[in-house]
Amino acid sequence: MHPFTYTHDPARGRDFTQRLAGARTTPAAADPQGRMGIPMADLERLCQRLSTFDWDGFARRLNEHPAFIHEYGGARLHFVHARSTDPAARALLLLHGWPGSFLEFRELIAPLTRGTPPFHVVCPSLPGYGFSTRSLEHPCDAAAIADILADLMSALGYERFLVQGGDWGSLIACELGRRHAARCLGLHLNMAPFLPPPPDDPVRQQVTAAEAAWLSEGARLWQDGMGYYAQQGTRPQTLAVALADSPRGLLAWLAEKHLAWSDRDQHGASLVSDAAIADHVALYWMTDSIGSSMRLYYDERHARRTPARIEVPTGVAVFPRELIKCPRAWVAERCRLVHWTVQSRGGHFAALEVPQLLLADLRTFAAVLGPGAGS
């Protein structure tokens, strides 16, 4: 385990800029609602931003918090580790998803080490994402990642810890709760990744009117918004060839999801900023990690597991533009639910969109758990 500092490669940055400037465009409808993909106006605006991207500023943002590399099994796990000065602080593992990175939590890390309650924050890049590597010759699904992260927390001296996650981070958090229950103080999820109860289960009918609307929205998503999921879960390496070779293509693929899955402000603009989207495109490009990040979809699709009920205390924050919103009764059937809130704003990228709401909800959840040692 050793400290990590990102050093910008000017040649790779110039290559990115030159490829972006020389990219071939394709005829497309304006499609301002994004029904056929990323709206062209959004794509051109983001391309313009990246054409004059501040690479030095990017490096400063990547290095804002102390980071380290943990060597394991021939691979490298990158993580931010920010300790609180409060001796009563508990350890907190922050887990991102796709198409995200540890940068999603950049604004939350310092506040989490202070305030009430304080935390020792561990924020990894998932295997295959950003600066974390993984073998492509062997599967590495959510359960395997949970074991890797449990080992990381042991190496850092944290015997017990809380977990917060969304997207893939929520699935990995749930696997930590199943596989390492004795070590998990609690799970805080901003996406509850649970399957519906069987048709003959009475719980299936325990749905409020608002929750019925959630299920209708989810059904529309599965019909019209999961093409990326099918491709990444079945043929990720074909898609990776194109995305790893074209900054414009990579931007279109990542930005479409950031814009489509986020909530909007009063002017109709995404709560995920253009700056955050540009940083994620730059990170995936500079680390050549788009292919290895998508591989998780394939590995998880082909995993053979029967998810057990989670007995670790679990809190769920439901944000209105989240992709998957399960009825409360369904969630309570699958886990030991001790905290439930329905938020007023925010979408799939809560840490980027509404960091203060996520922070407040996480602290409320920690208070529900009560005091406890985290190391």
Separation between Cα atoms, residue 332 and residue 338, nearest integer Å:
9
Return the domain boundaries, the chain. Answer: 2-369
pLDDT at 372: 56
pLDDT at 374: 45
pLDDT at 62: 98
pLDDT at 9: 96
Alpha helices, DSSP H, located in the chain:
10-21, 40-51, 55-62, 106-113, 142-155, 168-179, 209-224, 227-234, 236-243, 247-260, 274-287, 290-301, 328-334, 350-353, 355-369
Residue in 120, 188, 258, 348 annotated catalytic: 348
Q: Tell me the two tokens of residue 247.
A: 């900054």
Separation between Cα atoms, residue 15 and residue 55, nearest integer Å:
13
pLDDT at 30: 86
Q: For 148-159, write each residue's pLDDT tens digit.
A: 999 999 999 999
Residue in 167, 263, 279, 299 annotated catalytic: 167
Fold for the domain defined by 2-369: Rossmann fold (3.40.50)
6 is catalytic: no
DSSP assignment string, 211-231: HHHHHHHHHHHHHHS-HHHHH
Q: For 96-133, write each residue's pLDDT tens digit.
A: 999 999 999 999 999 999 999 999 999 999 999 999 99
56 is catalytic: no
Q: Tell me the two tokens of residue 352.
A: 């980027």
167 is catalytic: yes
Q: Tell me the two tokens of residue 18.
A: 């030159």
Residue in 70, 297, 299, 339 annotated catalytic: 297
The whole-angstrom distance between residue 323's C-alpha and the CA centroid of its chain comes to 13
Q: For 19-29, write each residue's pLDDT tens digit.
A: 999 999 989 99
The residue ranges of the chain whose pLDDT is under 70 are 372-375
pLDDT at 61: 98
Separation between Cα atoms, residue 91 and residue 95, nearest integer Å:
13
Q: For 276-318, write each residue's pLDDT tens digit.
A: 999 999 999 999 999 999 999 999 999 988 899 999 999 999 9
